[in-house]
Amino acid sequence: MPHDAQLIFADHVGRFYARQYAFPPMAGRLLGYLFVCDPPEQTIDELGEALLASRSAITGAVKLLESYKIARRTRVAGERVDRVSIDPASQQPQNFDSAIHVEHAALFRKGLALLADAPAERRAPLEEMVALAEFLSERLPALRDEWHAHRDELRRKSAHND
Spatial CB neighbours of 98, under 8 Å, sequence gap ≥ 6? 136, 137, 138, 140, 141
The region that residue 78 occupies, defined by phi over 0 for left and psi between -120 and 50 for alpha, beta otherwise, is left
Does 3.30.56.10 match the CATH number of domain 4-90?
no
pTM: 0.75
pLDDT, one tens digit per residue, over 119-151 is: 999 999 999 999 999 999 999 999 989 988 998
Domain boundaries, the chain: 4-90, 94-161
72, 66 in Cβ contact below 8 A? Answer: yes
Does position 162 have pLDDT exceeding 80, yes or no?
Answer: no
pLDDT at 146: 92
